């Protein structure tokens, strides 16, 4: 029985391009992001991968990325589940601000702490620890049982919601996961044995 899970961060969004804190705001993909999503789909197709179910967030950039990937795979219409549990980290009062403007307003050190600490949230927002607290129970309740049952699962989501999953799957600490960079539109493939242990991990960057 195959136990396959593929994670993919959405392609570049219009706000990524503008260097804005995005969080739960809902811009679509940029032109570059569309290209990245097509490339992700072609990479998965080249490996002969097909899926039984897809999960994505309530945000359009992740949903659009998923639809492009499924188009490349010839799997348009694949059953999918959308849920805000997989949304990006909520950046609160930083949302919509240019990252340089935020540094001017709050200071470079404070903004760095908000961006790169595990458990310090920005004002009105979530830390990565908070994000994990909603992502992981959802994963454990709905997604992981599918993987264990032999369904081939694709998740199209966001840098920080996927970091929460990677922290769990790779047994990383909070300090380790905040240093982990995730490229836009780059699939990450996991295969598991029947006990749920990771037996293969392949990062399709570049």
Domains within the chain, CATH numbers bracketed: 10-154+169-203 (3.40.50.1240)
Residues 6+ apart with CB under 8 A from 154: 6, 8, 51, 53, 54, 55, 66, 69
Interior/surface letters 82-113, b for 16+ CB within 10 angstroms, e for the rest: bbebbbbbbbbebbebeeeebeeebeeeebee
Q: What is d(CA 42, CA 72) in angstroms, rounded to the nearest whole number?
A: 6
Write down the pLDDT at residue 1. Answer: 86
Question: Which one from 10, 12, 64, 72 is the annotated catalytic residue?
Answer: 10
Question: Which one from 12, 36, 72, 88 is the annotated catalytic residue?
Answer: 88
Cβ 77 vs Cβ 50: under 8 Å: no
Predicted confidence (pLDDT) at residue 46 exceeds the cutoff of 80? yes
88: annotated active-site residue: yes
Residue that has been written with the tokens 């805000």 in this structure: 84
* pLDDT, tens digit, 9 for 90 and up, residues 83-131: 999 999 999 999 999 999 999 999 999 999 999 999 999 999 999 999 9
**pLDDT bracket for residue 26 (50, 70, 90):** very high
Radius of gyration of the chain (CA): 17
112: annotated active-site residue: no
């Amino acid at each position: 029985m195959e136990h396959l899970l593929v994670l993919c961060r959405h392609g570049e969004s219009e706000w990524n391009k503008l260097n804005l804190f995005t969080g739960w705001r809902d811009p679509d993909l940029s032109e570059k992001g569309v290209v990245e999503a097509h490339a992700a789909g072609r990479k998965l197709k080249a490996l002969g991968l097909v899926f039984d179910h897809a999960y994505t967030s309530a945000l359009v950039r992740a949903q659009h990325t998923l639809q492009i990937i499924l188009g490349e795979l010839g799997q348009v219409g694949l059953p999918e589940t959308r849920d805000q549990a997989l949304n990006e980290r909520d950046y609160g009062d930083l949302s919509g601000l240019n990252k340089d403007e935020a540094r001017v307003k709050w200071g470079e050190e404070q903004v760095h702490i908000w961006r790169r600490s595990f458990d310090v949230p920005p004002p009105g927002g979530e830390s990565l620890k908070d994000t994990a607290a909603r992502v992981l129970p959802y994963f454990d309740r709905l997604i992981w049982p599918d993987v264990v049952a032999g369904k081939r699962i694709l998740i199209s989501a966001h840098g920080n919601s996927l970091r929460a999953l990677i922290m769990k799957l790779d047994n990383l600490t909070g300090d380790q996961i905040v240093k982990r960079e995730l490229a836009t539109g780059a699939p990450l493939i996991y295969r598991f044995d029947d006990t749920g242990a990771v037996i293969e991990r392949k990062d399709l960057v570049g």
